[in-house]
Structure 1
Amino acid sequence: MRYKFLALPLVFVSCLAQAQDASLLAGAMRVDQNEDDTSFAVALGYTHHINKYLSVSADYLNEGHPKLHHRDGLGAQLWLRTPVPERGWSFAAGFGPYYYFDTTTGNGSFTDYRNEHGWGQLMSLSAKYHLASNVYLETRLAHTHGITSHDTTMLLFGAGYELGSQPRAIRLQNAEKGDNTLMLLAGRSIVNSFKSETATSYGVEYRRTVNPNVEWSVILMSEGKVDAAERKGVSGQVWLLRPFTERTVLEMGFGAYAMRDQLDRTDANDERESHVAPIASIGMRYRINDTWRAQLTWSRVITNYERDSDVFMLGAGVAF
């Protein structure tokens, strides 16, 4: 049951490959079961217009930090919308599945935590004002429902950009020099606990281009040392790409992460444990010239033994 979310990133990725809109929203969140329990909220979305009245979106939602919960998740929504004008208002209503990651507690305090995963529903109402350029301003009311711990309601404000259709020549240009990329990576890993312990992470990535919209990669990665714990391993991911400009590509990856985890390095009898966990990533790559590339990625490691983590990596490498 825990890994039924495998289907959701595939929907998410398919949307990204054809996305026409990208948006970033932020605002406030309220726990429905306790109106005094409030926090921030952030939403990142990609939308593909099916026709004049229908759209599908893929969304990352961070529901903030209400008491004893740090929750975020991935959603996919089907939208019924009004036609988009060259300038002016458009309105939409969306509904779809939501797979969440919740850092919560089992004993009513911050001294202990667990990582819960599960399904709910995400529903939204949106009002956009389209400017003369490709930019629009958006107000969105979003609601998560059907989650064991609590439902939430969010009021979000932000902006989006209409990506439009990238000519095939631009898509080819982003991958024209070399089918291979070798990248050195470094950044920070964050444990999904109430303390959010951090460590220095680093890695080496080999990536192979299948076509202008699809790549696969192998990444050797160390998540660093957090207190007495240390984890490293190798991940394999399939990536879907969406050119954003002539030099910039948005990307999403999904795959598996085989790791060796030592939870207590101070204990000589504590042997490293082997695990295989799903990993999902969102990133952006910049083509400096025909040879050099720069890359920024965020990856979520999704475990079944209370060791979820976020890994942020900045990289530079060569295409050949």
Structure 2
Amino acid sequence: MKAKTCMAAVLMAHAVLARADAPAATNDPENHGAYLSAAFGNGRIHGGNASGYRWMRGRTFEVRAGRRQDDVFGLALPPAWAMRVDFVHYNEGHPDNNHRDGFALQWLVVHRFSRMWTGELGVGPYLSMNTTEVRTEAGYRQIDDARLGALVSAGLRLAVPGPSGTHLRLGYNHVAMHTVHRSDALVLGIGRQFDAAEPAPDVVPDGRLWLGGTFGTSITNMAGTHGAHAGVIEARQYAERWGIGYKFLFEGDDGARVDRRGLAGQLWYVQPVTPRFSMSAGLGPYFAANRRDGNRTATNLLISFQAERALSARTRAIVNFNRIKTFRKTNDRDLFQVGLLRRF
């Protein structure tokens, strides 16, 4: 939980910092500018497997990174209307026996009511992971329950003083999930709509090989474990807005369930925010052996959410959040890391 909260705070800071290289937001039909926001709040679960205390204990939060478009398949939208596609990490807090979070891909319509007020409505698939206990013939067993549902969101944005496009955002999220609990929550945070940006000429990530490493912490999403030190060695190549990455992960030992290491390959989508700052999301298979499970080798899914800052033409600082999903209802893990990439 601490790692994910730190990631939200870092991305919020990047979303609202004034940067000399960030152009002002406009409503130009060619604008494909990035959108960033982070928000915290509270909510309640209901139905399905909900039991005990159903409030989220004030630990609800979301982080959004998106791309705005003012046209649909080349057709301009009416004035004051736009659309956006967001990649969302959503955490539904800590009701009793249900600690669910996950990743959503949302399509949103955005309408500007006035100079100060903007509304938005979005929906999309939501891949969730819930740490919970279930009853079996042998007694209660803790699992990481993965399910696919829908995340429906509405937002109201109020422009505030600061860099162009900065706003407060009041959001409502509804999670619909078949056979298990649903949830409703209100979140309040800050965000920024950026104008279209391309990498600065001196930091364009061409097709050359980038090598680097990151270091941080790992948390197993099950009780009876502790945090561990984790490291990643990475090679990556970029092709405009896309990238391919290869990683060797050392997840560290949680003292009870997981001491895993292995190789991963990921496809990345990169969204420039300013000429030197970008956000990216990666997805791919992760082949790893767990020393605390007799070196059993398995195929997992690695989902990554990353911020990159070009320090020079050959060096990039990165901050990322990684989710390892096993799909065996056990031993899912979160990694929060910082590091550098160097072009060769």
TM tier, smaller: 0.7 to 0.9
* SS, match of residue 54 in structure 2: strand
- 1:291–1:81 distance in 2 versus 1, CA, 3 Å: closer
CA distance in structure 1 between the aligned counterparts of 2:218 and 2:265, rounded to whole angstroms: 18
* Deviations 1:261-315 (CA, angstroms, capped at 9, x unpaired): 1225xxxxxx311111111100112222223222111111110221111112211
TM-score (norm 1): 0.83
The answer to whether residue 230 in structure 2 is matched with residue 201 in structure 1 is: yes
CA distance in structure 2 between the aligned counterparts of 1:134 and 1:198, rounded to whole angstroms: 38
Residues 37-186 of structure 1: pairs in structure 2 closer than 5 A: 37-39=54-56, 40-51=59-70, 52-83=81-112, 85=114, 87-107=115-135, 112-131=141-160, 133-166=164-197, 168=198, 170=199, 172-176=201-205, 179-186=208-215
CA distance in structure 1 between the aligned counterparts of 2:151 and 2:308, rounded to whole angstroms: 29
CA distance in structure 1 between the aligned counterparts of 2:84 and 2:272, rounded to whole angstroms: 20
CA distance in structure 2 between the aligned counterparts of 1:172 and 1:281, rounded to whole angstroms: 27
- 1:249–1:200 distance in 2 versus 1, CA, 3 Å: same
Look up the equivalent residue of 2:184 and give its one-letter code: T
Higher relative contact order (CA 8 A, sep 6+): 2
Q: What is the CA-CA distance between 1:178 and the residue it aligns to?
A: 7.2
* SS, match of residue 134 in structure 2: coil
Aligned equivalent of 2:264, options 235, 243, 249:
235
CA distance in structure 2 between the aligned counterparts of 1:73 and 1:94, rounded to whole angstroms: 16
- 1:216–1:91 distance in 2 versus 1, CA, 3 Å: same
Unpaired runs of 5+ residues, structure 2, are 1-31, 71-80
Q: What is the CA-CA distance between 1:172 and the residue it aligns to?
A: 4.8
Aligned-residue RMSD, C-alpha: 2.4
The answer to whether residue 299 in structure 2 is matched with residue 276 in structure 1 is: yes
TM-score (norm 2): 0.78
C-alpha contact 1:225 1:231 (8 A) present in aligned 2: yes
* SS, match of residue 105 in structure 1: strand
* SS, match of residue 67 in structure 1: coil
Percent of residue pairs identical: 23
C-alpha contact 1:173 1:246 (8 A) present in aligned 2: no
Q: What is the CA-CA distance between 1:27 and the residue it aligns to?
A: 0.4
C-alpha contact 1:177 1:291 (8 A) present in aligned 2: no
Correspondence for 2:314: 291
Q: What is the CA-CA distance between 1:36 and the residue it aligns to?
A: 4.8
- 1:290–1:92 distance in 2 versus 1, CA, 3 Å: closer
C-alpha contact 1:171 1:212 (8 A) present in aligned 2: no
Q: What is the CA-CA distance between 1:196 and the residue it aligns to?
A: 5.4
* Deviations 1:202-222 (CA, angstroms, capped at 9, x unpaired): 12111112x231221111111
How many correspondences in the alignment? 292
* SS, match of residue 263 in structure 1: helix
